[in-house]
Amino acid sequence: MEFMDLLNIKQLECFRAIMRTGNMTQAAQMLGIAQPSASSLITNLEHTLGFKLFERIKGRLIATPEAQILLADVARTLESVELTEHHARQIREDRKGDLAIVSYPDIAIDFLPDLLSKFLENRSGIRINLQARRTEMMSGLLPTHDYDLAITTRLRDTENLSVKEFPQPCVVIFPKGTAPDNIKMYGPEELSVHKLITVTSTHPTTVQLIDRFSQSGGIHPNIIIETQTFESVCSFVRRSAGVGIIDAITASRYTNEVDIRIFKPLIWNYIFLLRPLGRPSSQILNKFEELVSKELSKISQTKW
């Protein structure tokens, strides 16, 4: 049996406690054990080491020169063990670890930072890597599995991925104070008289919008501005450039800055939470995904 296998943490803790207190009884009290148990631990440690650690001189327990030399190494060993125990406790309590998230830009601006900030309030040992990627650029990243959680609005190849889907309704937004009070719901006919601001024509929500207009007797939407993100749409509307179509997540952040109306028939923005299959998930990832899922479900049920 190797020498280090013969040592145990309790023996080293007892040795350190005696070196600190200079008294067997006080050391035993510090460790929460009986004095005979402390004495036995030291006797066994001395036997394993092959030299005396303490001498009793005139009724006092005196550390030997060998004990003085050994103390620094014992202290470092126990500090390392205690640090490991501390980290293990943090991991067990979901307060230590790494979390790599890649997301489409809209929710990486404010939605995710808000959730992550709340998530980190009592988890100071967690490190976050949040990357914003346009959905079109994610196709090359997703197969690499170089992330813990990916959030996207378009799906292609889902091989080796766990997928959760969260439909988010889109709403109509007006510059603050300009939406008529007598119209609470807007369809293609009501919107046809307004200048519209939307995300790009290839985005699924804009494709749905044009389809809704087409199904309403050939009315065409008067789209004057197309932009990459719902955030940009909202920024244009807040500056009175027109009326916008945005998702419920973005709308929920600007309830005090724009007027919000329901669009019928509904337009959906689908959000997908993706996790790589074939590798273990950390407790931290599970807890954060649960938080994101709960918030997405809550927003989708908002009564505007």
- The mean pLDDT of 244-267, rounded to a whole number, is 95
pLDDT at 87: 61
Contact 246, 148 (CB under 8 A): no
CATH assignment, 168-269: 3.40.190.10
pLDDT tens sequence across 84-112: 776 666 556 555 578 889 999 999 999 99
pLDDT at 95: 54
Strands 149-152 and 268-276: antiparallel
Q: Name the average pLDDT for the chain.
A: 89
Which of the four pLDDT bands, split at 50, 70 and 90, describes residue 281? Answer: confident
Q: How long is the chain?
A: 304
* CATH-assigned architecture of domain 3-92: Orthogonal Bundle (1.10)
pLDDT at 60: 85
Could you tell me which residue, 122 or 223, shows the higher pLDDT?
223
For the cut 50, the answer to whether the pLDDT of residue 220 exceeds it is yes
Which of the four pLDDT bands, split at 50, 70 and 90, describes residue 214? Answer: very high
For the cut 50, the answer to whether the pLDDT of residue 200 exceeds it is yes
pLDDT at 139: 67
For the cut 80, the answer to whether the pLDDT of residue 1 exceeds it is no
User: Phi and psi of 153, rounded to 5°?
Assistant: -115, 0
Is it true that 96-165+271-300 and 168-269 share their CATH fold? yes
- The mean pLDDT of 71-91, rounded to a whole number, is 78
3-state secondary structure 189-224: HHHCCCCEEEECCCCHHHHHHHHHHHCCCCCCCCEE
- Indicate the helix (H) or strand (E) that contains 83: helix 65-92
Q: How far is it, in rounded angstroms, from Cα 286 to Cα 300?
A: 21
pLDDT at 303: 87
pLDDT at 92: 64
pLDDT at 86: 60
303: tokens are: 């009564």
pLDDT at 168: 96
Q: How far is it, in rounded angstroms, from Cα 172 to Cα 230?
A: 12
Which of the four pLDDT bands, split at 50, 70 and 90, describes residue 289? Answer: very high
CATH assignment, 96-165+271-300: 3.40.190.10
- The mean pLDDT of 198-210, rounded to a whole number, is 95
pLDDT at 163: 93
Three-state DSSP class for residue 26 = helix
Q: How far is it, in rounded angstroms, from Cα 39 to Cα 99?
A: 47
pLDDT at 188: 95
- Indicate the helix (H) or strand (E) that contains 56: strand 54-57
pLDDT at 2: 45
- Indicate the helix (H) or strand (E) that contains 57: strand 54-57
296: tokens are: 């997405």
- The mean pLDDT of 209-235, rounded to a whole number, is 93
pLDDT at 277: 85
Q: How far is it, in rounded angstroms, from Cα 18 to Cα 108?
A: 55
> What is the domain partition of the chain in residue ranges?
3-92, 96-165+271-300, 168-269
pLDDT at 88: 66
- The mean pLDDT of 65-78, rounded to a whole number, is 91
Three-state DSSP class for residue 170 = strand
Contact 45, 7 (CB under 8 A): yes
For the cut 80, the answer to whether the pLDDT of residue 3 exceeds it is no
- The mean pLDDT of 9-35, rounded to a whole number, is 92
120-126 contacts, C-beta under 8 A, 24 or more apart:
122/95, 123/94, 123/95, 123/96, 123/284, 124/95, 125/87, 125/90, 125/95, 125/96, 125/97, 126/95, 126/96, 126/97, 126/98, 126/99, 126/284
Q: How far is it, in rounded angstroms, from Cα 283 to Cα 291?
A: 12
Three-state DSSP class for residue 134 = coil
- The mean pLDDT of 242-255, rounded to a whole number, is 96
pLDDT tens sequence across 128-161: 999 898 877 776 677 676 789 999 998 877 788 8
